Amino acid sequence: MPVRKMKLAGRSGRVAVVDGLRTPFARIATHYKDLNAIDLGAMAVKELMARNNLDQRDIEQLVFGMTVMIPEAPFIAREIALALGMNTVDAYSITRACATSFQTAASVADNIVAGYSDIAIAGGTDSTSSARVPLSSELSAVLRDVSFAKSMTDRIKLLSQLKAKDLLPQAPSITEYSVGETMGESTEKMVKKWGISRQEQDDLAHASHSNAARAWAEGRLDKQVMTAFLPPKATPLKDDNLVRKNSERAGYSKLKPVFDKVSGSVTAGNSSPLTDGAGALLMMSEKKAKALGYEPLGYIRSYAFAARTPKDDLLMGPVLAAPMAMARAGLTLDDLTLVDMHEAFAGQVACNLKGLADDDYVRSQTGLAALGEVDRSKLNVNGGSIAYGHPFGATGARVISQALYELQRRGGGLALTTACAAGGIGAAMVLEAE
* Dihedral angle over CA of 369, 102, 315, 136, nearest 10: -160
> Which amino acid is residue 75, in one-letter code?
F
Is 420 noted as a catalytic residue in this protein? yes
- How far apart CA 355 and CA 419 sit, in angstroms, is 14
Distances (CA, A) of 158 to 59, 140, 164: 53, 12, 14
CB atoms within 10 A of CB 309: 11
Select which of 206, 342, 351, 420 is catalytic: 420
Select which of 31, 98, 209, 342 is catalytic: 98
CB atoms within 10 A of CB 251: 14
Class of residue 76 by CB neighbours under 10 A (exposed 0-12, middle 13-18, buried 19+): buried
Shortest CA distance to 122 belongs to which of 161, 88, 77? 77
Distances (CA, A) of 384 to 128, 208, 333: 19, 6, 20
Contacts 24+ apart (CB under 8 A), 4-10: 4/327, 4/328, 5/327, 5/328, 5/329, 5/330, 6/302, 6/328, 8/109, 8/113, 8/300, 8/301, 8/302, 8/303, 8/328, 9/113, 9/286, 10/112, 10/113, 10/114, 10/115, 10/285
Is 351 noted as a catalytic residue in this protein? no
- How far apart CA 291 and CA 299 sit, in angstroms, is 16
- Give the residue numbers marked as catalytic: 98, 390, 420
